[in-house]
Chains A and B, each alone.
Chain A
Amino acid sequence: MKQKHSLLRNNGFQTFATSILCIILGLIVGYIALLIIEPSGAWNAIINVMKNFFKYPSAAARMKYFGSTLAKTAPLIFCSLSVLFAYKVGLFNIGAAGQYCLGMGVAIYMAICLQCPWYLCLICGILAGALSGALCGVLKAYCNVNVVISGIMLNWISLYGMNMLLKPAMDPAGKDTYRLVSKAKQAILPTLGLDKLFSNNQYVTIAIPLAIIVAIVVWIVLDKTKLGYELKATGNNPNAAKYCGMKENQNIILTMILSGGLAAMGGALYYLSDIEQWNVNASAVPAMGFNGIAAAFLGGLNPVGSIFSSYFITHITVGGGNVDLSHYCAQIADFISAVIIYLCGFVLFFKTLINNHLRKSEERFTAKERAAVKAADVKPEGGNK
């Protein structure tokens, strides 16, 4: 009894439990939506979404598609780290989508048009995103512009800007940019032999271990360093932080630079692995940045948690492509992740519920105990005193 209580009281466990609850509720809502569309195949469809690569019978194929899912998880981890990092400092970096886009665009441009090696493409991509983040931060710090709104504006500016920049890199055969394999082999990320582990899936590159390393670095910076402490203090109470001599404006700008750089790193790494090409007529900001928000909150705003939540979201998004397309559409996965984020807004509410319940049952317990003690006190002929 007591052990269960202490486990439930543990903040980390509560976060984990509420995340799982959000996922389950999200899947149920998704299932209901599928039932409404076409009842007969709904169960199969939701199973397909969850199965993703497990649907392949041969182990080699499973490994290969597992590799692809991991390759798509890496940029999402970066985006969720970007959102998470800024959120810890009290800033909501919805501009991650635009910074991701900048990282992608600059990296591809340098790779195809300037024929630069991969590390140069990557660094310049990160710098572009960091710059955009810095602009957001400066506007917030000195002009008091709401970061959410400036972030959205920068998203669209980045999207149209990158579309213009990448026009010369477009493959005339389609609307996408050239495949790096055909035009810029030097810019493809090294695999370090990781591809061998995943049935020679050439898209499994250093991006994946890099994402995990960066997640751990972010965790260390936020939780174990003075800088992280200062940044979090600024987020929790800017006035108190200022009073203690922390430079509030400088911290805001620094946070946004790092946050922007993280998102851009995701974009650059993803497109340098050549798994996907950019459509230069794209009329929508890449969803990766927004999914990053989902992953960050689902992961309980913990860098290590966001590795797992990013994987889960990528898993169901990729799995969404497996549904029976004669009745359903792949966007059902986006729908499920959107429901999950909506529910993540309730995390505080869920936690309060748990804590209230705990407090009440504990009060009842101690009341009983006290009554028992009293009874025990009274019973021995009332003659102790």
Chain B
Amino acid sequence: MLLLIQYTLIFASVLLLVALGGCVSEHSGVINLGLEGIMVMGALGGALVMKFLPYPGTPSFLMFLAVLGACILFGVLYSSLLAVACINLKADQTIVGTALNMLGTALATVAVKSMNTAMNPDDHSSEIFYGKAKRAFLTTIDKFELNWFMIVAVILLIVVYVLLYKTKFGLRLRACGEHPQAAASVGISVFKMRWAGVLLSGLLGGVGGITYITAGVSTWKFENGVAGFGFLALAVMIFGAWHPFKIAGAALLFGLFRALGNTYQGFDFLKAMNIPSGVYNMLPYIVSLIVLAFTSKNSAAPKAEGIPYDKGMR
């Protein structure tokens, strides 16, 4: 039971972080379908730091900060590729997002493989092992493993809420997602606001990525990407009606279904039902399809999302 709660919380944190990223970006008017790729890059940054910083040897807190910094840096840098293409060059946001997902996985695989091969000519895997370093930011309280990134997720949730709904910046950002021409008419730079939205989503997506690969496993094969989590997070965001606190609720629900796949063997009645593990693997995706079918009708999506800003348009 405790294990189920632990996994639910960690997966919910991942979904929450990434969904918040999608939310900020969409409020500024850019659909960020590249979240999956951003997660991979964030995870890569964090994993590299964990691989190369000696542990034990580095103080835990320093380790945590370094990992956090690296995944943020990678996520933000990578998301700027989306920003350049979609904001400045007015490219189709769906194509660029999809390209970034493919590029993220391919780039991470090539980078990790060539790094592994360079260190050991017989090693052609795309895996990074970080089991030891990971312990730097795990605190065990009576069998419950608290991952520090869960706390980061809660803090960022509050920060994003305040930023979006209680500050001048947030109001301007949302204006650019609803009616950019109106925003521009009162002197707001739509390009700058959208850049800010996309970069923030890169930050949140990057942190989500590192949280995902430190959830339960101690080694990551970068060929696999992040298994559609970026898109699950977008489903969470739609279910959460583009509002941070509702997104948090949705993330908990989806996290629970995802966690069941990892822990169902601990429950006697679930084990007794003898359902093949594939069904549990499918569960989060099936649930999200059903949920989307019921919640998408009256969409609360920002009005101008997905449309490149054109000054001359009314």
Which of B33, B232, B296 has a CB less than 8 Å from the CB of A145?
B296
Partner among A92, A143, A161 whose Cβ is within 8 Å of the Cβ of B296: A143
Asked whether, in the complex, the Cβ of A153 is within 8 Å of the Cβ of B288, the reply is yes
* CB-contact partner of A346 in B91, B118, B282, B289, under 8 A: B91
Closest beta carbon of chain A to B127's beta carbon, Å:
13
**Distance, CA A342 to CA B89, complexed state (A):** 12
Given the complex of chains A and B, what is the CA–CA distance between A290 and B231 in angstroms? 15
Q: A143-B294, A153-B285, A331-B110 are in contact. Are A344 and B99 (CB under 8 A)?
A: yes
Task: List residues of chain A with CB within 8 A of the CB of B126.
Answer: 329, 331
Interface-facing stretch out of A113-121, A177-185, A261-269, A333-341: A333-341
Say whether A331 contacts B106, CB under 8 Å: yes
Q: Are B286's CB and A157's CB within 8 A?
A: yes
Which of B33, B94, B109, B232 is the one whose CB lies under 8 Å from A334? B109
Within 8 A of A (CB), among B185-229: 223-225, 227-228
- Also in contact, A344 and B95, with CB within 8 A (given A156-B282, A161-B278, A349-B90): yes
With beta carbons under 8 angstroms apart, the residue of A283, A329, A331 that contacts B227 is A283
Partner of A139, one of B98, B282, B289: B289
**Cβ-defined partner of A335 (8 Å) among B110, B276, B293:** B110
**Contact in complex: A339, B103 (CB < 8 Å):** yes
Query: Does A149 contact B235, Cβ atoms closer than 8 Å?
Result: yes
Q: Does A345 contact B (CB under 8 A)?
A: yes
- How many B residues touch A, CB cutoff 8 Å? 53
Interface of A is mostly: helix
A371 nearest CB across to chain B (Å): 30
- CA A78 – CA B309 in complex, angstroms? 34
Residue pair A332, B296 in contact (C-beta under 8 Å): no
Binary contact readout A153-179 vs B (1 if CB under 8 angstroms, 0 otherwise): 111110011011000000000000000
Q: Are B109 and A157 in contact (CB under 8 A)?
A: no
A284 touches B (CB below 8 Å):
yes
Stretch of A7-15, A217-225, A228-236, A320-328 that contacts chain B: A320-328
Bound-state CA distance A36–B95 (Å) is: 27
What's the minimum C-beta distance from B128 to chain A, rounded to whole angstroms?
Answer: 15
Shortest beta-carbon distance, A230 to chain B, in Å? 23
B234 within 8 A of A: yes
B107 touches A335 (CB 8 A): yes
> For B117, B224, B289, which residue has the most chain A Cβ atoms within 10 angstroms?
B289
The answer to the question of A37 belonging to the interface, with a C-beta cut-off of 8 Å to chain B, is yes
Cα–Cα, bound, A155→B230 (Å): 14
B53 CB within 8 Å of chain A: no
Question: With a CB–CB cut-off of 8 A, which chain A residues contact B289?
Answer: 139, 145, 150, 153-154, 157
Measured between C-beta atoms, what is the minimum distance from B197 to chain A in Å?
18
Residues of chain B within 8 A of A297, CB atoms compared? 95
Asked if B262 lies at the interface with its beta carbon under 8 angstroms from chain A, I say no
Q: Is the CB of B117 within 8 A of A326?
A: yes
Residues of B within 8 Å of A164, CB to CB, are 276, 278-279
The residues in A between 123 and 158 inclusive whose CB is less than 8 angstroms from any CB of B are 139, 143-146, 148-150, 152-157
Per the bound structure, the CA–CA distance linking A380 and B126 in Å amounts to 80
Interface residues on A, range: 35 or more
B124 touches A325 (CB 8 A): yes
Interfacial chain B residues near A348, Cβ < 8 Å? 90-92
- Asked whether, in the complex, the Cβ of B292 is within 8 Å of the Cβ of A145, the reply is yes
Contact B103 A335 (CB under 8 A): yes
Given contacts A144-B299, A284-B224, A329-B110, contact A345 B96 (CB under 8 A): yes
CA–CA, A154 to B235, complex, Å? 13
Whether the pair B296, A326 counts as a contact (CB closer than 8 A) is no
Known interface pairs A148-B33, A152-B231, A345-B96; A143-B293 also in contact (CB < 8 Å): yes
Q: For residue B14, give the distance in angstroms from its CB to the closest CB of chain A.
A: 16
Q: Say whether A342 contacts B81, CB under 8 Å.
A: yes
B281 at the interface (CB under 8 A from A): yes
Cβ distance B194 to chain A, nearest Cβ, rounded Å: 16
Per-residue contact bits, chain B 2-25, to A (CB 8 Å; 1 contact, 0 not): 000000000000000000000000
Given contacts A146-B238, A331-B106, A342-B81, contact A153 B296 (CB under 8 A): no
Q: Contact mask B41-70 → A, CB, 8 Å, 1/0? A: 000000000000000000000000000000
Judged by a CB distance under 8 angstroms, whether B263 is at the interface is no
Instruction: Enumerate the 9 nearest inter-chain pairs by beta-carbon distance, A residue then B residue, closest first.
Output: A345-B91, A338-B103, A342-B99, A341-B99, A152-B231, A338-B102, A329-B113, A164-B278, A335-B106
A–B pairs, 28, beta carbons within 8 Å: A37-B118, A38-B118, A143-B296, A144-B299, A146-B292, A149-B292, A150-B292, A153-B228, A153-B285, A156-B228, A160-B281, A161-B278, A161-B282, A164-B276, A285-B228, A293-B98, A328-B117, A331-B223, A332-B110, A334-B109, A335-B107, A335-B110, A337-B102, A338-B99, A338-B107, A339-B103, A342-B96, A346-B91
New contact pairs (19) apart from A290-B101, A326-B121, CB-CB < 8 Å: A92-B94, A139-B292, A146-B292, A148-B33, A149-B234, A149-B238, A153-B288, A156-B285, A157-B286, A157-B289, A284-B227, A290-B102, A331-B109, A338-B103, A341-B98, A342-B85, A342-B103, A345-B99, A348-B90
User: Which residues of A approach B to under 8 Å, CB–CB?
Assistant: 33, 37-38, 92, 94, 139, 143-146, 148-150, 152-157, 160-161, 163-164, 283-285, 290, 293-294, 297, 325-329, 331-332, 334-335, 337-339, 341-342, 344-346, 348-349
